Amino acid sequence: MTGESGGSVFLLGGGLMQMPAIAAAGELGLERHLADGNDRCPGRDVVEHFYHVDLRDMNGLVRVAREIPNLRAVFTAGTDFSRSVAHVSDAIGLPGIPFHVAHRATDKGVMRATLREAGVRVPDYVTLAPEDEPKDSPLPFPVVVKPVDNMGARGVVLVGASEQFAPAVSAARSLSPSRHVIVERHISGQEYSIDALVYNGTVHITGIGIRHIFFPPHFVELGHTMPAELSVAEETALTDEFTRAVHALGITRGAAKGDVFLASDPSGLPIAIVGEIAARLSGGFMSGWTYPLSSGVPLTRLGLEVAIGRSPGDEALSPQKKAVAVERALVSVPGTVESVEVRARRDSELREIFVNCSPGDRVAPPQNNVEKVANVIVVSENRERAVKRAEDVLDEILVVLRPREPETDAFLFVSGWADRYARYRVANRDTVAILSSPVDYRLTLARWAGSPPPLAVAPLPTLGGTPDHLKPNHISISAEDLGSRLESETLIRFDRNAERDVSVLFWRALIAGGRQGVRYLIDSINRHSGGVDARSGHSEGAES
């Protein structure tokens, strides 16, 4: 290949988060050599050379790297494998983050110890070795239990009582390659993500995003917003503590990403507490999508330039525009995907729609950051417009579930509508009592089988509740708006005299799963015993 840089780059990871790095390497004129344990990863089709190697196989990666001509850098972004990058770079003698530094920035126990010794604010913590089996928490509740060496919030859980502690430790240990677990005091402040490039002895902050976390006791990020709205004092507190942490870990050339909490000292002044630092650019669409869209700065390309030994000037890092970029995620109730319907179309504001599931896949409410069924990215000059557009787009992505499955039935109609993963939170005890009243959902579905849409349902006030009692549990349009949309689409019609049991099932399905739950209810009724398809109006044969 030709280009200003020339030479080759060894990219570790060919998944979605690596696609901006793969594109940036091409822009720099680098011949792209890609390794991934998944031989069907999307990056394979766009690089010059692919190697099917497990990214934990460091020696195997070194063997590949030694055969790559004119290798200038090893690089990853948004993956678990910064230690593998460092190991290969050390073995080949390339510039970058040394392995011992990458280890400090990967093992949460080592990280906490290093930062605490340097005077960086971190939560109180205790590390449990594989042989440690405490029956109770070594710190006062509430505590957070997590594997020391995993990412994406896998195995991370908030524990508030003694009986929850041992199961949480066991679950976290099962997701830790080293089987070490860290227990730390829960931080209640707002969490922010920070990206930076480090070179010439300076930490160059390249973006701060606010993270939107839901579904305790798990920590599921359903999106972030760039840039975060911060006062000068708040931004200074975040960036100063993050910079101290990067220096303490020993990152002198490369990328750094931090999750940092904003809290207050006894006098009310903002202070920052470092959650984690990683020796790479962030995943979760921030470094590769939302920061470039909001600032005009090609962060991944600049990170790759740093990896090959360049030092970008101040002009390259200076924002070229001031827009708001919003990433939001869609989650699903449990079941089997039958189809995915996307009505939204990309335009100047809606930049990306990523669908992460296919027909036949099993889906479920997420317990970490890698179990979401779709993501959207919107950019606008106006913050409120960007957020509203992203929420509206999520409502135009429908993961249709196979009807009449026991797991989905149970979640929607028996208990899940009151679960923490429900799309709407029922904020009134009287409404909960009304919707909890006994309904034989199997008998009701069978009795209504074959009823053509629209489905007649009683308004919630007729049953004794009010839509005001349904508050969005996560990113969502209001229940009233959703009901109006479903009625305008002739899927339902509100009727004060509608049959009570099917009306209760409707509201349970809407609370638990929003549009997805209502569609499942209608499909379960109309695709049984010669019913009518809710999408097409065509008769179907009886199910076997």
The 10s digit of each residue's pLDDT in 478-502 is: 899 999 999 999 999 999 999 999 9
Average pLDDT over residues 395-401: 95
Give the full edge-to-edge strand order of the sheet including 181-185.
Answer: 125-128, 181-185, 143-147, 157-159
3-state secondary structure 383-405: HHHHHHHHHHHHCCEEEEECCCC
Q: Is the pLDDT of residue 538 over 70?
A: no
E strand or H helix that includes residue 196: strand 190-199
Lowest mean pLDDT among 102-106, 408-412, 444-448: 444-448
Return the closest-CA partner of residue 487 out of 454, 451, 527, 522. Answer: 454
Half-sphere exposure of 161 (CA within 13 A, CB side): 2
* Bond into 142 cis (ω within 30): yes
Average pLDDT over residues 110-137: 95
Average model confidence (pLDDT) across the chain? 91
Residue 399, pLDDT score = 98
Q: Is the pLDDT of residue 187 over 70?
A: yes
Residue located via tokens 């470094």: 287
Average pLDDT over residues 114-119: 97
Residue 539, pLDDT score = 30
The DSSP symbol for 118 reads: T
pTM of structure: 0.91
- Tell me the pLDDT band of 528, cut-offs 50, 70 and 90: low
3-state secondary structure 259-275: EEEEEECCCCCEEEEEE
- Tell me if 291 sits within 8 A of 281, measured CB to CB: no
Residue 257, pLDDT score = 96
Q: Is the pLDDT of residue 418 over 90?
A: no
E strand or H helix that includes residue 198: strand 190-199
Residue 5, pLDDT score = 53
Q: Which amino acid is residue 162, in one-letter code?
A: S
Average pLDDT over residues 352-379: 95
> d(Cα 255, Cα 251) in Å, to the nearest integer?
8
- Tell me if 211 sits within 8 A of 192, measured CB to CB: yes
> d(Cα 257, Cα 196) in Å, to the nearest integer?
6
Q: Are strands 374-380 and 324-330 parallel, antiparallel or unpaired?
A: antiparallel
E strand or H helix that includes residue 85: helix 82-92
List CB contacts of 335: < 8 A, sequence separation 6 or more: 362, 363, 364, 401, 402, 405, 407, 408, 411, 520
- Tell me if 390 sits within 8 A of 326, measured CB to CB: yes
Integer distance in angstroms from the first to the last C-alpha of the chain? 58
Q: Is the pLDDT of residue 31 over 50?
A: yes
Q: Is the pLDDT of residue 275 over 70?
A: yes
Residue 544, pLDDT score = 24
Domains of the chain: 8-94 (3.40.50.20), 103-107+190-310 (3.30.470.20), 124-185 (3.30.1490.20), 326-401 (3.90.1170), 406-526 (no CATH)
Taking phi over 0 as left and psi of -120 to 50 as alpha, with beta for the rest, 13 belongs to left
Average pLDDT over residues 181-202: 95
Residue 55, pLDDT score = 95
Residue located via tokens 């317990």: 367
Q: Which amino acid is residue 236, in one-letter code?
A: T
Tokens at 82, concatenated: 């910064």
> d(Cα 449, Cα 522) in Å, to the nearest integer?
10
Tokens at 281, concatenated: 């650019």
Residue 448, pLDDT score = 84
Lowest mean pLDDT among 26-35, 174-183, 237-246: 174-183
Within 10 angstroms of residue 343's Cβ, the number of other Cβ atoms is 9
pLDDT digits (tens, 9 = 90+) for 511-523: 999 999 999 999 9
Which three-class secondary structure state does DSSP give residue 426?
A: strand
What are phi and psi for residue 402, nearest 5 degrees?
A: -60, 125
> d(Cα 416, Cα 418) in Å, to the nearest integer?
5
Lowest mean pLDDT among 59-63, 138-142, 303-307, 429-433: 429-433
DSSP secondary structure, 442-501, as one string? HHHHHHTTTPPSSEEE--HHHHT--GGGEEESSS---HHHHHHHHHHTTSEEE-TTS-HH
> d(Cα 404, Cα 445) in Å, to the nearest integer?
9
Within 10 angstroms of residue 289's Cβ, the number of other Cβ atoms is 24
pLDDT digits (tens, 9 = 90+) for 36-85: 999 999 999 999 999 999 999 999 999 999 999 999 999 999 888 999 99
